[in-house]
Each structure stands twice: as structure tokens, then as C-alpha cells.
């Protein structure tokens, strides 16, 4: 089965092969210059070296950005497919106060929190990097604003689940050549 991610792999292989070519080409031209022209430096040779290295750096930088720094627009239907699933929270009871969500904080240099909640018979713990809590009259907090939730649906869920639900947003890269360049297709 053909995977679009092969495009990205082939581009990285081409960049590595181009690096090997550059090293061999610079070495060969330098040896030829020393033997035939009896010179250690010429401007034309230097400019060719600079152009080859700049092409390599620009190409490798662009591919690094496509592969490791890609952050697509969550509303771009050409690049990603997404689903939103709503499930009610189950109240945790026992000794002390009852709650829907328990917040645990780490006292580190880069403070982080984890949220623990129950839904449909399972206990879920999510990092604050991947989850946020909204409370009060608004269904979205500042961190969740970047996710393309449909506010009408959130209002409907507020009424249906009495403001005690979890909205699970899941996004996948589509299987196409644009995502294959960055080796994200289908992920």
C-alpha cells in the first residue's frame, strides 16, 4: 500500500544525498584547483561552494519546518479531519467534597496541572497541555478558544448535561501529498 509519507522520506534522503554530493564536489573542485591552477583560493570556486551550501541549508530548513514544526490551522479542511465527541461527566463521591473534576498541580519551574475525571465507567487523567476546564456562564475558556468548537453545540450540551460534560476534540492529518511532505499523512 502506498503511503503519502514516502514523499517526505524521499525528500529527506535526497537532502542527505545532496549533502554527500556537496562534500565530494567541494573536495574534487578544490583538489583540481590546487593541482591544475596551483591556487588555494579562487572567487568562482568560493561562490559555487556558497551557493551549494545555501541551497542545502534552505532546503533542509524548509523540510525541518515541514516535518517537526508543522502546526496546521484546525479549521483547514484540506489538511485535517476532525471530530468532536461529547460525553457526560460522572460525579466522584466519597470522603470529603464531591466533584466532577479533580485538579492536581505540580510545583515545578514550569508548573503544570493534571485533571482527573470520570466518564462512562472510566477514569481519565489529562494534562493541562491537552485539556482545559470551563466553568461559569461560558462554555469555553481562553485555552479552548483555539479549538473550533461550534458554540451552538456547546450551548446545547450545557443544557443537556447540566454543564457537566467533556468535549473531546480529535484531529487527524488527511492522507494527501501535502501532509506526506512533512510525514504526517494519516497521523
**How confident is the prediction along the chain (187 residues), in pLDDT tens digits per residue?**
469 999 999 999 999 999 999 999 999 999 999 999 999 999 999 999 999 999 999 999 999 999 999 999 999 999 999 999 999 999 888 777 888 888 888 777 777 889 999 888 889 999 988 898 888 888 888 888 889 999 999 999 999 999 999 999 999 999 999 999 999 999 9
177 CB contacts (<8 Å, ≥6 apart)?
A: 4, 7, 185
* Predicted local distance difference test score (pLDDT) of residue 2: 66
**Residue 36 to residues 27, 30, 39, 147: CA-CA distances in angstroms?**
14, 10, 8, 64
63: Cα within 13 Å, side-chain hemisphere: 20
pLDDT tens figures, 137-184: 888 888 888 899 999 999 999 999 999 999 999 999 999 999 999 999
User: Nearest 5°: CA angle at 183, between 178 and 186?
Assistant: 80
* Predicted local distance difference test score (pLDDT) of residue 1: 44
Number of H helices, E strands in the chain: 4, 5
* Predicted local distance difference test score (pLDDT) of residue 94: 77
178: Cα within 13 Å, side-chain hemisphere: 9
pTM: 0.82
Rounded Cα distance, 64 and 58, in Å: 10
Rounded Cα distance, 34 and 156, in Å: 78
Amino acid at each position: 500500500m502506498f503511503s503519502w509519507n514516502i514523499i517526505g522520506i524521499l525528500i529527506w534522503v535526497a537532502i542527505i544525498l545532496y549533502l554527500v554530493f556537496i562534500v565530494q564536489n567541494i573536495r574534487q573542485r578544490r583538489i583540481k584547483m590546487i593541482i591544475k591552477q596551483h591556487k588555494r583560493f579562487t572567487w568562482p570556486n568560493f561562490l559555487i561552494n556558497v551557493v551549494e551550501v545555501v541551497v542545502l541549508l534552505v532546503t533542509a530548513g524548509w523540510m525541518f519546518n515541514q516535518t517537526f514544526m508543522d502546526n496546521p490551522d484546525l479549521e483547514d479542511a484540506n489538511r485535517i479531519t476532525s471530530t468532536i465527541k461529547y460525553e457526560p461527566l460522572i460525579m466522584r463521591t466519597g470522603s470529603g467534597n464531591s466533584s466532577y473534576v479533580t485538579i492536581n498541580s505540580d510545583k515545578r519551574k514550569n508548573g503544570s496541572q493534571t485533571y482527573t475525571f470520570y466518564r462512562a465507567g472510566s477514569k481519565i487523567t489529562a494534562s493541562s497541555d491537552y485539556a482545559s476546564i470551563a466553568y461559569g456562564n461560558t462554555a469555553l475558556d481562553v485555552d479552548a478558544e483555539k479549538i473550533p468548537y461550534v458554540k451552538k453545540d456547546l450551548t446545547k450540551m450545557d443544557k443537556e448535561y447540566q454543564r457537566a460534560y467533556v468535549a473531546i476534540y480529535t484531529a487527524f492529518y488527511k492522507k494527501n501529498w501535502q501532509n506526506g511532505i512533512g510525514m504526517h499523512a494519516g497521523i
